[in-house]
């Protein structure tokens, strides 16, 4: 059962980053603008994140296995839509559908683990394996994508989902047990609409404000997203059977755990996106060579995730979550302080530190979230965990990607607009204008990477201090607190 859940999770996690190395090939084919490139990458995570609270509640009410299987089917069909895209709009539409399917699958995987593994120690190990697959899936996305793109073109990054979907569907029907709680009332539709609108508005606003020089509309959408989420939270407090029991956030450890997952995935999502471009455009590696060079991150996530259940019993939740985020801070500082032009040796160390930190942090935080709720409401904990996970990846690309893009554009001031937009644009321009413009773009990209790494280290360090303050000393994830 765990293998079936992890196989589906691997697909959903890989799709968050698999296009990173396919982007140059995709740009050549579909010619998306710079903003369309960002949307192609992060619309998946934003849609998925927006729907997770609703799908978590649906799984509790109507059956986790049922929602899981429907989600897998939608995910497979969406992969075909994206793989056959002949325009940027069709590709973005396919990514939206992938997000909808993924939103049905992800909370079901964690909530089913909560039901299947009754023993607290077994559950901690199962969550460790689950987190290893989630983190490693995001980290090996560039490697798998690179090999497939080089051999078969960017569409192969989507076609690869289809056979796995078919096998998982057959095995899931046969192996997985059904769980649903008869004690729930009907789904509150206004709450569902508020949660989707609030999360998407918040994500959109942060994305556009982070670019610099935001318009009045951008600021208004951000403010509206925050307001809608406040209205959503107040509505939940008045419902006898809320979509999401916001009282859970009164538990300081629960709130800290959600923050930890958000930060860990924000960091690795942004790093894999930017470093995939850096490996291909600045250093000239092929997609598969670039993907191979991100492998240290995947191996480190695997090691950190499997080590976390053992460490949880020995050093405690508070210190382990802080240690995990501390590893992420150290990774960004190595990148920020490395001499320019940055070499791959430094980047490999960065990947290892980010991966270890992510593995420790996500496994520990997921154990806290899933242990904080009764089994009947595990879908809610799964939704919070996965919303933090997917918003982290999406916001990492949007926020830190936009900061990097703004610094890059500033460093390229006075150059043609196409070259200022992105390093991909500079690469295309160099074909006709000569290599000088690309050489300038490489220096600007590297310089922007240093600035972005300093900003990232500062953000994660601040959250690390907050997490250490929020989690009570001696708190244990298996205690049911």
Q: Could you report the per-residue pLDDT of 264-278, keeping only the tens digit for each?
A: 988 888 888 888 888
- Specify the pLDDT at position 90: 93
pLDDT tens for each residue of 2-58: 999 998 988 887 876 777 777 778 888 888 877 787 778 778 877 887 888 888 888
Quick check: 154 and 18 in contact, CB under 8 A?
A: no
pLDDT at 378 over 80: no
CA–CA distance from 468 to each of 28, 131, 327, 328, 474 (Å)? 46, 21, 14, 15, 12
**Domain ranges in the chain?**
2-187+243-479, 188-242
Backbone angles phi, psi at 251, to 5 degrees: -75, 110
Q: How many other CB atoms are found less than 10 A from the CB of residue 234?
A: 11
If phi > 0 it is left, if psi is from -120 to 50 it is alpha, else beta; for residue 104 that is alpha
Distance in angstroms (rounded) separating the CA atoms of residues 109 and 63: 12
pLDDT at 325 > cutoff 80: yes
Residue 212's pLDDT is what? 64
C-alpha span between 68 and 73 (Å, rounded):
9
Looking at residue 240, the DSSP 8-state letter turns out to be: S
368 in Cβ contact with 93 (< 8 Å):
no
Euclidean distance between CA atoms 250 and 327, whole angstroms: 27
Q: For the chain, give the number of residues.
A: 481
Q: CA dist 257 to 124, 362, 374, 388, 421, Å?
A: 15, 8, 17, 9, 37
Residue 84 clears pLDDT 90, i.e. is over it: yes
Residue 176: other Cβ atoms inside 10 A: 19
3-state secondary structure of 213: coil
Q: What pTM did the predictor assign?
A: 0.81
**Cα separation, 146 vs 228, whole angstroms:** 40
Q: State the pLDDT at residue 208.
A: 74
CB 477 within 8 A of CB 367: yes
Give pLDDT tens digits for 131-170: 888 777 777 877 788 788 888 888 888 998 999 999 999 9
Contact 328, 460 (CB under 8 A): yes
How many helices and strands (H and E) does the chain possess? 20, 0
Average pLDDT over residues 212-223: 86
pLDDT of residue 481: 37
pLDDT for the residue 194: 94
User: Does 3.40.50.300 match the CATH number of domain 2-187+243-479?
Assistant: no
What is the overall mean pLDDT for the chain? 86
Query: What pLDDT digit, counting tens, does each position of 238-255 carry?
Result: 988 888 888 888 888 889
């Amino acid at each position: 059962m765990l293998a079936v859940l992890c196989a589906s999770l691997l697909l959903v996690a890989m799709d968050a980053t698999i296009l990173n190395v396919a982007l140059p090939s995709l740009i050549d084919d579909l010619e998306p603008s710079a903003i369309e490139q960002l949307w192609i990458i992060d619309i998946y995570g934003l849609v998925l994140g927006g729907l997770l609270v609703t799908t978590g509640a649906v799984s509790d009410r109507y059956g986790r296995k049922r929602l899981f299987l429907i989600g897998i089917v939608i995910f497979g069909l969406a992969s075909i839509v994206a793989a056959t895209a002949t325009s940027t709009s069709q590709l973005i539409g396919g990514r939206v559908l992938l997000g909808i399917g993924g939103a049905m699958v992800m909370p079901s995987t964690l909530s089913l683990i909560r039901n299947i593994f009754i023993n607290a120690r077994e559950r901690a190990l199962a969550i460790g394996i689950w987190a290893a697959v989630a983190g490693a899936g995001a980290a090996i996305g560039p490697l798998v994508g690179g090999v497939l793109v080089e051999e078969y073109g960017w569409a192969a990054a989507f076609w690869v989902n289809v056979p796995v979907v078919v096998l998982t569907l057959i095995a899931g029907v046969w192996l997985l047990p059904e769980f649903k709680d008869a004690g729930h009332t009907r789904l509150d539709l206004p709450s569902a609409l508020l949660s989707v609108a609030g999360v998407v508005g918040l994500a959109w606003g942060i994305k556009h404000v982070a670019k610099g020089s935001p318009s009045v509309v951008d600021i208004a959408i951000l403010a509206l997203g925050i307001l809608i989420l406040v209205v959503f939270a107040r509505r939940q407090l008045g419902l006898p059977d809320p979509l999401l029991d916001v009282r859970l956030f009164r538990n300081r450890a629960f709130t800290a755990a959600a923050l930890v997952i958000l930060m860990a995935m924000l960091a690795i999502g942004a790093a894999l996106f930017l470093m995939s471009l850096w490996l291909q455009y600045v250093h000239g590696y092929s997609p598969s060579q670039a993907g191979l060079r991100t492998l240290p991150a995947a191996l480190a996530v695997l090691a950190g995730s499997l080590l976390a259940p053992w460490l949880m019993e020995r050093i405690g939740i508070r210190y382990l979550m802080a240690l995990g985020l501390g590893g992420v801070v150290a990774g960004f500082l190595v990148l920020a302080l490395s001499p320019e032009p940055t070499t791959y040796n430094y980047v490999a160390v960065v990947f290892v530190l980010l991966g270890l930190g992510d593995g420790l942090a996500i496994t520990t935080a997921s154990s806290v979230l899933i242990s904080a709720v009764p089994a009947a409401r595990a879908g809610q904990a799964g939704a919070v965990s996965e919303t933090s996970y997917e918003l982290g990846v999406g916001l990492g690309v949007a926020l830190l990607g936009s900061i990097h893009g703004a610094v890059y554009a500033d460093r390229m001031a006075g150059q043609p607009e196409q070259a200022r937009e992105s390093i991909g644009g500079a690469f295309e321009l160099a074909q006709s204008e000569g290599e000088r413009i690309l050489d300038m773009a490489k220096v600007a990209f590297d310089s922007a990477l240093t600035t972005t790494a300093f900003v990232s280290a500062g953000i994660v360090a601040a959250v690390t201090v907050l997490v250490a303050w929020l989690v009570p000393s001696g708190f244990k994830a298996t205690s049911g607190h």
